[in-house]
């Protein structure tokens, strides 16, 4: 049984940067907290905890030391409040997410009614909305668009891990109904590359395995995309979750991983698949 890895797969620059920032701060010996999990990968978050980086659910849970802002970004008011508490703040917001923040602020400044394409309860989307103004509308699909739209001049920003197809669907539904439509395609290049590579590979293999956290939006999107072209698509966080029956009769297995999946985690899954035969 042969294993083929997607051309673009696994941890991205923004995640690597965040992990390095958190690990560097951990070496100081001072208390270190992230506000929510630094990335959506339970195994990586557990490894950080082993280095002394604890997860705080709210700012009230952090009394001293350093607060690391997660890759998904936050409301800027939270950073201001942390500094007012005397905390050292390390901003590990992904640069692509920061671009979405900038785009949202620009649209508001120029008088557009902002629509954010993304998951309403996702921390990244909550951060984008904070920059767009809390009156910004969040939709995950065209079916969620209200009638009428919130204005005649519509500006769109996108959760960085959304698919291009989802964005196109929403844009197509808005276009006939708006007098003016301005779109910032803030899907990050790493996400787009991983999605294209995963779909291409899934079409060519007998079985597709996607590695990454179940709480990871970008990993979930890869699973969704692969499953549309290959019914034998499986999502695992670790090699221990592999089921040998998935690979019965398979000659070629494809593997990809979300942008929040460290390389070692993906490598362990590949090794385990190869050991099956």
Alpha-carbon gap, residue 26 to 144, rounded angstroms: 43
Based on the residue annotation, tell me whether 124 is a catalytic residue of this protein.
yes
- Which residue out of 16, 54, 110, 124 is catalytically annotated? 124
CB-CB neighbours of 242 under 10 Å:
17
Tokens of 198: 């995963």
CA angle 161/226/256 to nearest 5° reads: 75
CA of 245: how far to CAs of 242, 252, 267, 276, in Å?
9, 14, 20, 10
Tokens of 28: 């100081």
Show Cβ contacts of residue 169 under 8 Å, excluding neighbours closer than 6 positions: 141, 142
Alpha-carbon gap, residue 33 to 193, rounded angstroms: 32
Query: Collapsing DSSP states into helix, strand and coil, what is residue 31?
Result: coil
Which residues are annotated as catalytic?
Answer: 124
């Amino acid at each position: 049984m042969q294993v083929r890895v997607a051309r673009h797969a696994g941890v991205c620059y923004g995640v690597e940067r965040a992990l390095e920032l958190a690990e560097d701060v951990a070496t100081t010996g001072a208390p270190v907290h992230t506000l929510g999990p630094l990335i959506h990968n339970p195994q990586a978050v557990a490894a950080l905890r082993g280095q002394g980086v604890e997860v705080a659910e709210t700012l009230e849970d952090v009394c001293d030391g350093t607060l690391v802002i997660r890759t998904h970004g936050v409301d800027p008011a939270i950073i201001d409040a942390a500094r007012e508490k005397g905390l050292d703040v390390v901003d590990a917001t992904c640069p692509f997410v920061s671009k979405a923040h900038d785009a949202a602020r620009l649209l508001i400044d120029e008088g557009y009614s902002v629509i954010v394409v993304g998951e309403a309860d996702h921390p990244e989307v909550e951060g984008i909305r904070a920059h767009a103004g809390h009156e910004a509308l969040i939709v995950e699909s065209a079916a969620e668009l209200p009638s009428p739209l919130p204005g005649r001049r519509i500006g769109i920003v996108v959760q960085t891990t959304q698919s291009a197809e989802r964005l196109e669907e929403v844009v197509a539904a808005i276009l006939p109904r708006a007098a003016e439509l301005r779109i910032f395609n803030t899907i990050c290049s790493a996400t787009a590359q991983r999605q294209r590579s995963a779909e291409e590979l899934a079409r060519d293999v007998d079985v597709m395995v996607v590695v990454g956290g179940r709480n990871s939006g970008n990993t979930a999107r890869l699973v969704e995309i692969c499953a549309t072209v290959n019914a034998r698509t499986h999502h695992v966080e670790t090699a221990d979750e592999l089921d040998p029956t998935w690979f019965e009769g398979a000659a070629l297995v494809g593997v990809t991983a979300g942008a929040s999946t460290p390389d070692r985690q993906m490598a362990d899954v590949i090794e385990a698949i190869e050991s099956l035969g």
